[in-house]
């Protein structure tokens, strides 16, 4: 599974994709690369989740000497997938086999404060990085209101905490992530810090 739960909420679905899931999706996709500001024909893979009634597409684009990974919901007929400038990039299309990875802003290694905007000019993503490694990444709705805030540590692209905000920008809940070789354990808490759900997801490698 391609960083599905690392990027699906934080970058892919919330920012830079024009369409949401649709049963009548088209496999004749149109890809717009925000870095080159042009339509491109990249490699991609599809992954279906029948129980959850959606399909994900992972797009692979060149970022420096690495391969940028972008995960999005499959668009409906006639929609365009906008590939953002800010991506996690690896030296392998399978990130579990990668020996090198880095946060890239087009062909530049992310360092310090990095921002990306929606086509309407509103803030879309804002992150703090240390020599290519993420420390904190915030994503915003198209109207500019904060929706998620993810925290990272160590040499992994996996976040350990995510804050989720409602349509008014107020904290709605937060999740803590623990990773093992085979599972991702997610504990969800309400705004008062009370545990409301524990979920275990299998990790594929």
For the chain, the first-to-last Cα distance in angstroms comes to: 8
| Cα 55 from Cα 46, distance rounded (Å) | 7
Query: Higher-confidence residue: 204 or 121?
Result: 121
Question: Which pLDDT score, from 0 to 100, does residue 89 have?
Answer: 94
| Dihedral sign of CA atoms 37, 41, 47, 53 in order | positive
Mean pLDDT score across all residues of the chain: 83
| pTM summary value | 0.82
Question: Which pLDDT score, from 0 to 100, does residue 13 have?
Answer: 41
Question: Which pLDDT score, from 0 to 100, does residue 57 have?
Answer: 85
Tokens of residue 148, six digits: 């998620």
| Dihedral sign of CA atoms 48, 49, 55, 56 in order | negative
| Cα 203 from Cα 1, distance rounded (Å) | 8
Number of helical (H) and strand (E) elements in the chain, helices listed first? 1, 17
Instruction: Determine contact, residues 131/137, Cβ cutoff 8 Å.
Output: no
Span 15-38, pLDDT tens digits: 444 433 344 444 568 899 999 999
Span 69-128, pLDDT tens digits: 998 877 665 578 899 999 999 999 888 788 899 999 999 999 999 999 998 999 999 999
Classified as helix, coil or strand, 103 is: strand
Question: Which pLDDT score, from 0 to 100, does residue 27 have?
Answer: 53
Query: Higher-confidence residue: 150 or 57?
Result: 150
Question: Which pLDDT score, from 0 to 100, does residue 23 have?
Answer: 42
């Amino acid at each position: 599974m391609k960083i599905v739960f690392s990027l699906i909420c934080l970058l892919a679905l919330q920012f830079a994709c024009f369409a949401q899931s649709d049963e009548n999706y088209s496999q004749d996709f149109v890809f717009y690369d925000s870095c080159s500001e042009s339509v491109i024909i990249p490699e991609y893979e599809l992954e279906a989740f029948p129980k959850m009634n959606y399909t994900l597409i992972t797009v692979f684009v060149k970022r420096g000497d690495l391969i940028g990974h972008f995960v999005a919901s499959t668009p409906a007929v006639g929609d365009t997938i906008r590939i953002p400038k800010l991506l996690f990039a690896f030296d392998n299309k399978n990130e579990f086999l990668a020996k090198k990875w880095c946060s890239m802003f087009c062909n530049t290694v992310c360092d310090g404060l990095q921002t990306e905007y929606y086509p309407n000019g509103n803030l879309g993503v804002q992150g703090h990085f240390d020599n290519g490694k993420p420390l904190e990444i915030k994503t915003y709705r198209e109207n500019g209101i904060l929706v998620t805030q993810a925290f990272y540590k160590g040499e992994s692209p996996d976040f350990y905490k995510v804050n989720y905000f409602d349509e008014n920008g107020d904290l709605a809940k937060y999740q803590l992530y623990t990773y093992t070789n085979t599972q991702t354990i997610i504990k969800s808490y309400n705004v008062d810090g009370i545990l409301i759900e524990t979920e275990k997801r299998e990790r594929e490698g």
